[in-house]
Every structure is written in C-alpha cells, then in structure tokens.
Amino acid sequence: MKVFGSAVLVLGMLAWCALAQAAAQVPAGYRVAQQLPINDGQVLEILEDVRISPDLHRDLWGNGADPENLEDDLLAADIEKTPLVEAQVRLLAASGEALESKSLGYPLASVEKAPLVGLPAPAFFLTIDETAPMGTYSGPATQVLMPSAGKLNTTLYRTPEGKSEALFLAQTGKAAWQVGAPGADGVAQIQQVSSSPAGEDEEFVTTYRTYRFQDGAWQLSSRQEAGYWDTESDFPQPSAFP
C-alpha cells in the first residue's frame, strides 16, 4: 500500500509539474503583463515585451511608447536598437494550454471585465494603446471580446445597411465612449461620440453612435450634426445619442 501510495503521489506531482510548465510557457522576449480569469477556469492573458515593467507600462501609456519619453537612457538606447515587440492577447485553458493568441500591432495593451448586462456570455474590454507621438486623432482603441468555445471572438456589429464590421471604440482628443444605461429591455448599450472635418473647408461634424445588443448581435444606430466636440468638453447627454 505504501508503494502504491508513493506511486500515486509521484504521478500526481508529475502531472502538476506538467500543468505548471504548460502554464508557464511564454514566448521568448515576452512577460505575462496581466491575467484575468474567466469561465470554466480559462484565463485571458496579456503578454508584453519583457523590458516593459508595470511602472514602465504606466509611464508609456498614452505617450505612443516612444523611447524619447524614457528617463532611463540605457533602456531608451536599447529600445531604439531593438524596438518593443507587439503585445499579444491569448486565451488559456484551465490546464494552461494556449487555445488562441493574437498579436495586437502595438506594444501596450490591457484587458478588463466589461460592465455589460443582458449578454449571453461575459464580455471583456481589450484596449490597445495606439497613441501616436503627436496629434489628436490617435489613442487607446478598445474592442469587445466574448470568449467561448476556445476562441477569443472579437465582436462584430451590424450597420443599418446590414454589413458586419469590427467593433472598435476610440478614445482620442476628438473621440470618447462610455457604457450607457441599459435600454428598456435591460440589454447593454455603448455610446460613442467623435468629431472630424466634414470636408476640405474644415468645417467639423460630430457623430453620435449607439451600439446595442439586440436579436443576438450588436447593432449600430448613428446620427451626425454640424459642430465640434473634443475631450475638453463634457461627454454628451444620453439624449444626444440615437
């Protein structure tokens, strides 16, 4: 019995070690920047360049990940020589196996649980810092993830014309968004405002968009009006959105 018990213990330890190794496998040059548990023991994970510490992540966020913003001259020189790798998001099984991963195109990213109600599954906001060193038309871009069946499932929405497009929420000098109060049916909605020149005369037009989850899919309603809006102004009142 002692031999049998020892064998079971050894096998258990070997299985645990195998799972730990699977969970610990990170691509070369990356570190685990964030982990967020979701359903059934699965985990959403953000990977960033191994040189980006949590403090450096905070310092670079919104600055375009420009080495010129760094106080550490040695690190700045190293990044100039070898640019930061693109951040990745990946979905891990309870065993630690990577079910799906995506490169995000920029070095900085974050993920959080989305406070959206009335959806068939939990949703998550994946935000990629797309800020350029200069200008007011770039900034963090957020997409809605609804992981299921081992897939990350980037959210699409339907336009009034019936087309399906990827849902991206911009936060720039001339665009902002927020989670709106649920509609009369108790289902989630997201409001976004943005302003841009209407044509060569540089007269501005402001667009108000509402994304609603209806009939099993996200639907877009939008309207435009002449005028200028930027993030120095208050976020528009709910009545401004269609």
| Element containing residue 191 per DSSP (H, E) | strand 189-197
Count of structural domains within the chain: 1
Share of the chain above pLDDT 90, in %: 60
Assess if residue 127 is contained within a domain: no
Distance CA 75, CA 87 (A): 18
pLDDT confidence of residue 10: 41
**Does 108 have pLDDT greater than 90?**
yes
Confidence of residue 11 (pLDDT cuts 50, 70, 90): very low
Confidence of residue 8 (pLDDT cuts 50, 70, 90): very low
**pLDDT digits 0-9 by tens, 199-236:** 777 789 999 999 999 888 899 999 999 999 999 999 99
| Sequence-separated (6 or more) residues with CB below 8 Å from residue 73 | none
Assess if residue 185 is contained within a domain: yes
Alpha-helix runs per DSSP H in 25-162? 54-60, 73-81
Share of the chain above pLDDT 70, in %: 89
Assess if residue 56 is contained within a domain: no
Place of tokens 């510490």: 53
Mean pLDDT on 133-137: 76
Judge contact between 195 and 204, C-beta under 8 A.
yes
Assess if residue 14 is contained within a domain: no
Assess if residue 145 is contained within a domain: no
**Does 21 have pLDDT greater than 60?**
no
Taking the alpha carbons at both ends of the chain, their separation in whole angstroms is 72
Q: Which long-range contacts (CB under 8 A, 24 or more apart) does 199-204 make?
A: 204/228, 204/229
pLDDT confidence of residue 40: 83
Confidence of residue 237 (pLDDT cuts 50, 70, 90): very high
pLDDT confidence of residue 23: 55
**pLDDT digits 0-9 by tens, 114-125:** 999 888 888 999
pLDDT confidence of residue 227: 92
Confidence of residue 183 (pLDDT cuts 50, 70, 90): confident
Assess if residue 193 is contained within a domain: yes
**Does 15 have pLDDT greater than 50?**
no
Assess if residue 55 is contained within a domain: no
Of 55, 82, 86, which is closest to residue 71 (Cα–Cα)? 55
Domain around 206: 172-242
DSSP-based three-state secondary structure for 95 = coil
Of 121, 105, 120, which is closest to residue 44 (Cα–Cα)? 121
The burial of 189, by beta-carbon neighbours within 10 Å (0-12 exposed, 13-18 middle, 19 or more buried), is given as buried
